[in-house]
Amino acid sequence: MANHKSALKRARQSEIRRIRNKSYKTTARNTIKSVRKAVAGNALEQAEEGFVKAVSVLQKTASKGVIHKNKAARQISRLARQVNQLS
């Protein structure tokens, strides 16, 4: 455990950020999963609605620095391909 005052503060900040980032990551994963589930079930309308939400969530997550912007772009691209193959 940290001993210096600044290191103790840094540990507190890191813990708060970890919890916040965990929430963003979980939300992103769940939206991606819902789109993939809709694609697997051939539900075009549901997949398109989920895709719009997933794009928003992924971009927000990337803008906050929780995930890298290229990772968000890659995931959006792959989801778009899957949704477009349905139609």
What integer pLDDT is reported at residue 1 of this predicted model?
Answer: 74
Task: Summarize pLDDT for 23-33 with one digit per residue, the tens.
Answer: 999 999 999 99
Q: Which amino acid is at 20?
A: R
CA distances from 37 to 32, 41, 46, 78 (A): 9, 6, 10, 14
Task: Summarize pLDDT for 41-64 with one digit per residue, the tens.
Answer: 999 999 999 999 999 999 999 999
Domain ranges of the chain: 5-86
Give me the chain's average pLDDT, please.
Answer: 96
CA-based nearest residue to 75, from 64, 87, 60, 43: 60
Alpha helices in the chain (DSSP H): 5-40, 44-63, 69-86
- pTM for this entry: 0.86
CATH 3.50.50.60 is held by the domain 5-86: no
* Mean pLDDT of the region 2-23: 94
